[in-house]
């Protein structure tokens, strides 16, 4: 495959972004297990060897995509928290949190993969760096949420964001099960197991914010 080499920082950043976009596009149509590095490289228009220069493993690539999409959602929540004056009730905050996440299906999918898959085959340095960056982001967001949501301290807001990661990860598996399981749930006798992601998340977030 013929490709022009990225030789400066801005070109390298653009090339890495190109790979993340390609990965997200594939994730819209394929399951994680069906997406190979070969497919990603082909979609991104780069050689497989080039892909590995940027991301040592498939898991590291998807972790980068998760971090990017998570950061974009945090930025949206930050803007919502900073907009307007006064405080809002936990139920109102929960509606905003649930609706903005429900509009990001790829991020929901990646949340579900985080602990079961993306934590594997990634070296300690990469994982630690990711968590340090995330800690900085959620600390900033927690301060904004504490100012905007009634009776919520900075420490409670920070804890809430950590809990939210775990809740969304589990809820994503329950709300969007593999096709064979989803087909089984379509049976009237098993429809009780069907979960509406946004509705369930809104109720859980409301409860967490009221503690």
Domain count, the chain: 2
> Is residue 189 classed as helix, strand or coil in its secondary structure?
coil
Task: Find the mean pLDDT for residues 14-43.
Answer: 96
Q: What is the DSSP track for 29-76?
A: TS-GGG--HHHHHHHHTS-HHHHHHH-SSHHHHHHHHHHHHHHHHHHH
Query: Is residue 43 located within the same domain as residue 69?
Result: no
Instruction: With a cut of 90, say whether residue 144 has pLDDT above it.
Output: yes
Query: Is residue 66 located within the same domain as residue 114?
Result: yes
CATH number at residue 178: 1.10.357.10
pLDDT tens per residue across span 16-28: 999 999 999 999 9
Query: Is residue 18 located within the same domain as residue 61?
Result: no
When the pLDDT of each residue in the chain is averaged and rounded to a whole number, the result is 91
Of 23, 38, 54, the residue at which a domain comes to its end is: 54
> Is residue 11 classed as helix, strand or coil in its secondary structure?
helix
Cβ-defined contacts of 56-62 (< 8 Å, 24+) = 56/123, 56/126, 57/121, 57/122, 58/121, 59/117, 59/118, 59/119, 59/120, 59/121, 59/122, 60/121, 60/122, 60/126, 61/19, 61/20, 61/23, 61/37, 62/23, 62/32, 62/110, 62/113, 62/117, 62/118
Query: Is residue 165 located within the same domain as residue 192?
Result: yes
Query: Is residue 185 located within the same domain as residue 84?
Result: yes
Domain that holds residue 21: 1-54
pLDDT for the residue numbered 3: 62
pTM of the prediction?
0.90
Query: Is residue 71 located within the same domain as residue 43?
Result: no
Decide if 69 contacts 168 (C-beta within 8 A): no
Query: Is residue 67 located within the same domain as residue 28?
Result: no
pLDDT tens per residue across span 146-185: 999 999 999 999 999 999 999 999 999 888 877 766 667 6
């Amino acid at each position: 495959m013929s490709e022009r080499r990225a030789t400066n920082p801005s070109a390298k950043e653009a090339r890495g972004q190109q790979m993340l976009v390609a990965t997200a596009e594939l994730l819209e149509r394929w399951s994680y297990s069906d997406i190979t590095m070969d497919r990603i490289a082909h979609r991104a228009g780069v050689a497989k060897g080039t892909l590995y220069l940027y991301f040592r493993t498939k898991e590291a690539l998807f972790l980068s995509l998760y971090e990017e999409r998570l950061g974009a959602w945090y930025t949206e929540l930050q803007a919502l928290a900073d907009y307007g004056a006064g405080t809002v009730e936990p139920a109102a905050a929960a509606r905003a949190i649930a609706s903005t996440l429900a509009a990001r299906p790829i991020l929901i999918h990646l949340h579900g993969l985080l602990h079961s898959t993306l934590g594997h085959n990634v070296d300690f340095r990469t994982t630690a760096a990711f968590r340090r960056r995330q800690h900085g982001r959620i600390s900033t967001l927690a301060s904004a949420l504490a100012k905007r949501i009634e009776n919520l301290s900075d420490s409670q807001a920070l804890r809430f964001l950590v809990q939210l990661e775990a809740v969304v990860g589990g809820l994503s598996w329950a709300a969007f099960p593999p096709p064979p399981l989803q087909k089984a749930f379509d049976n009237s006798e098993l429809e009780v197991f069907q979960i509406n992601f946004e509705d369930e998340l809104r109720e859980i977030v409301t409860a967490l914010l009221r503690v």
